[in-house]
Amino acid sequence: MSKYTQLIRMLKSMDGKSYKAYKDIRGEYKHEQGFMLFIDHVQGDPFASPSKVTVQIPLAMLNINEDMNENPRRKLALEDFMLRKFAKLLKQYSKNLGTGGSGRFSTDVPGQEIIFRSNSVVKSDYIQLRFYMGLPAFGRRINGKGAVFMFNEAIPSIVRELALTKTDVRELWEHIYVVENAYAIRKYLEEHGYVAFVADGSLLPRESGVSDKPLVSGIPFQSPESLRITIPVPHGESVSGMAIKKGITLITGGGFHGKSTLLSAIAKGIFYHIPGDGREYVVTTYDTLRVRAEDGRKVEKVDISMFINGLPGGKDTVHFSTDNASGSTSQAASIIEAIQAGAKLLLMDEDTCATNFMVRDYRMQRLIPKKYEPITPLIDRIQELYDKFGVSTIMVVGGLGDFLDIADTVIVMEYYEPYDFTDKARQIVKEYPSQRIKEEVPPAKEPLKRFWISKSLSVSKPKVKVPSLDKVIYGKEEITFYGYDMFNTYSQLQFIGGLMQAIGNGKFGTLVDPLELKDILKKVWDEGLWDEILSHIGLKKAYSFAAVRHLDLAVVINRYRRLKASE
């Protein structure tokens, strides 16, 4: 008698028993179809968090061949495609079988982006799919018949229906081709001095503020001829579109003409996108970070002296700390933290920046002499960010015309269509020179090195809750990062919580440099090497983790109010 058959008999015998009897089913079971079932966690109550289960299926059972899994990009596309199909089947077989979540199947469902996730992992000859089950009960008594249905009918049926049909195979290859083409575009950008690319025909607007699906009635993107390049890709015809070079780029135009939509699409260009998303070939350099002003945020020993010096009362800005940053100090700190974490492209929108940090116009310079103004505005440092630190900037501006003096490229959006106004902007600068005087400030220096003190992230109960995509509760501390729109799933924030736990436990050493985590996290981001990473940092098998970059981790940790840092 197989162990799976024994499991079914055990469930039948449990009918009507106390719910706690379910704990005896924890273990691994091989089904006669050839798949393995691992019951990793059994809930203690029908109202508690559901049980955690993994199904391991040989790839041959699913009609998956070696070509579909021959490199990390194909592995990513395959895992994503199979997870989407699996999630649909779980929903289809979910039933109400009693109290609480009885009879429900669920898993972390992908959105518009394709990203490595720990609940779908492909190996050389099998795939592991992790999911949740609400073990059925009436009150706190086991519903044995319902449990038999879930394990003996639903799960085997789901596994059978996961096998790829001819239509599935065609759609899977589309998935693979989109990922491989976008990867080729990113490599081309890196090799030719570009930081972002928006393909002709891309559909950038989204359905709404709460839906990331494409707006079907949106206007397809068409590059200005002067900014258009054509990039060869491995599948299909070459892709043409607008390429943005390293340096300083301004996106401007009238209100509601698509400036912020373009910037948001560029921000999400760090991800691969599913076929039909409209942003499949909007591609941005890996080391991209969104920066804004954040009144009230935590800042811990950040060298903001490049931007702010000589504060009243002699407050230190070389080792600047505060629990309640102003708009200007918060934005200065965010830029320095980005540099220290290795960012190579900063994205900013004038609407979410501190005006006094961005520029001091001529009249304010006349009214308030420099000796009374501790802020060196970004306009007087932005060129140095690129020349000295290799950090490019793409910025949306609507009223800060002084930035035209230092822009390498000026893109104007008119009714959601882009135009290259670089030459016109330069002509305007000549005809209408700014009266503003560049501030006389010393050259920017490399910010002082800064390390996280691991023990400051250690908590007695490192429980992680993710109420929204701009908030994490780690232990008892709420960490907020409002306006940071480069997370696309709660699972990324769950992973960050796990990483914070690992750092707090000393898995990365006593002092941690965020940049040193880059190579480690790229193994997950680029290759999906979950087993290697999770074992290295001491985390258990993860059911709802998704890949993050070292930059994303730094954004969250730097806003943790118990963080302590050291130079």
Q: DSSP string spanning 147-193?
A: HHIIIIIIHHHHHHHHS--HHHHHHHHHHHHHHHHHHHHHHHHHHHT
Domain shared by 412 and 488, yes or no? no
Q: What is the pLDDT of residue 263?
A: 98
Domain membership of residue 236 (yes or no) is no
Closest CA to 36 of 55, 9, 11, 58: 55
Q: Let me know the angle formed at the C-alpha of 184 by 180 and 190, rounded to the nearest 5 degrees.
A: 145
Token couple for 30: 């091989």
Distance CA 379, CA 403 (A): 7
- Secondary structure in 3-state letters for 241-259: EEEEECCEEEEEECCCCCH
pLDDT greater than 80 at residue 1: no
Q: What is the pLDDT of residue 210?
A: 82
Closest CA to 257 of 305, 207, 204: 204
Check if the beta carbon of residue 356 is closer than 8 Å to that of residue 380. no
Domain membership of residue 533 (yes or no) is yes
Domain shared by 13 and 137, yes or no? yes
Reported confidence tier of residue 536, pLDDT bands at 50, 70, 90: confident
Closest CA to 163 of 58, 55, 38, 77: 58
pLDDT greater than 90 at residue 37: yes
Q: What is the pLDDT of residue 313?
A: 81
Q: What is the pLDDT of residue 555?
A: 98
Average pLDDT over residues 189-200: 98
Closest CA to 403 of 427, 380, 376: 380
Identify the domain boundary among 136, 164, 192: 164
- Of 223-227, 440-444, 563-567, the range with the highest mean pLDDT is 223-227
Closest CA to 87 of 564, 494, 491: 491
Closest CA to 142 of 11, 7, 16, 12: 16
Domain shared by 110 and 138, yes or no? yes
Domain shared by 403 and 544, yes or no? no
Domain shared by 349 and 460, yes or no? no
Q: What is the pLDDT of residue 229?
A: 98
Domain membership of residue 48 (yes or no) is yes
Domain shared by 310 and 373, yes or no? yes
Of the two residues 35 and 442, the one the predictor is more confident about is 35
Domain shared by 520 and 414, yes or no? no
Domain range enclosing 561: 451-566
CA 199 centroid distance within chain: 21
Domain shared by 160 and 15, yes or no? yes
Reported confidence tier of residue 535, pLDDT bands at 50, 70, 90: confident
| Cα→Cα distances 267→279, 357, 462, Å | 11, 22, 30
pLDDT greater than 90 at residue 483: no
Domain membership of residue 402 (yes or no) is yes
Q: Per DSSP, what are the bridge partners of residue 348?
A: 395
339-373 pLDDT, tens digit each: 999 999 999 999 999 999 999 999 999 999 988 99
Reported confidence tier of residue 533, pLDDT bands at 50, 70, 90: confident
pLDDT greater than 90 at residue 532: no
Domain shared by 318 and 417, yes or no? yes
Mean pLDDT of the chain: 95
pLDDT greater than 90 at residue 386: yes
Domain membership of residue 226 (yes or no) is no
Distance CA 373, CA 94 (A): 63
Average pLDDT over residues 443-472: 94
Q: What is the pLDDT of residue 438?
A: 85
- What do you get for the CA distance between the two ends of the chain, in Å? 63
Q: What is the pLDDT of residue 567?
A: 80
Token couple for 96: 């109400």
Domain membership of residue 445 (yes or no) is no
Identify the domain boundary among 402, 431, 460: 431
Domain shared by 138 and 48, yes or no? yes
Q: Based on DSSP, count helices (H) and strands (E) in the chain, helices before strands.
A: 15, 30
Average pLDDT over residues 35-60: 96
Distance CA 129, CA 37 (A): 10
Domain membership of residue 241 (yes or no) is no
Token couple for 20: 């706690």
Identify the domain boundary among 164, 183, 217: 164
pLDDT greater than 90 at residue 7: yes
Domain shared by 473 and 415, yes or no? no
Average pLDDT over residues 44-59: 96
Average pLDDT over residues 301-318: 92
Distance CA 29, CA 37 (A): 5
497-525 pLDDT, tens digit each: 999 999 999 999 999 999 999 999 999 99
Reported confidence tier of residue 402, pLDDT bands at 50, 70, 90: very high
Token couple for 245: 């070079």
Distance CA 122, CA 56 (A): 10
Number of domains in the chain: 3
Q: Which residue has the tokens 């790839």?
A: 59
Distance CA 405, CA 385 (A): 16
pLDDT greater than 90 at residue 314: no
Closest CA to 66 of 156, 176, 140, 154: 176
Reported confidence tier of residue 312, pLDDT bands at 50, 70, 90: confident
Torsion angle of C-alpha atoms 43, 44, 45, 51, degrees rounded to 10 = 0
**What count of residues does the chain have?**
567
Domain shared by 525 and 391, yes or no? no
Handedness of CA 336, 341, 346, 348 (dihedral sign): negative
Domain membership of residue 268 (yes or no) is no
Closest CA to 72 of 25, 105, 114, 112: 114
Q: What is the pLDDT of residue 106?
A: 97
Q: What is the pLDDT of residue 381?
A: 96
Average pLDDT over residues 41-58: 96
* Helix residue spans in 301-361 (DSSP H): 327-340, 355-358
Phi-psi region of 342 (alpha: psi -120 to 50; beta: other; left: phi over 0): left
| Cα→Cα distances 481→35, 246, 432, 469, 478, Å | 42, 27, 39, 9, 10
Distance CA 543, CA 103 (A): 19
Q: What is the pLDDT of residue 126?
A: 98
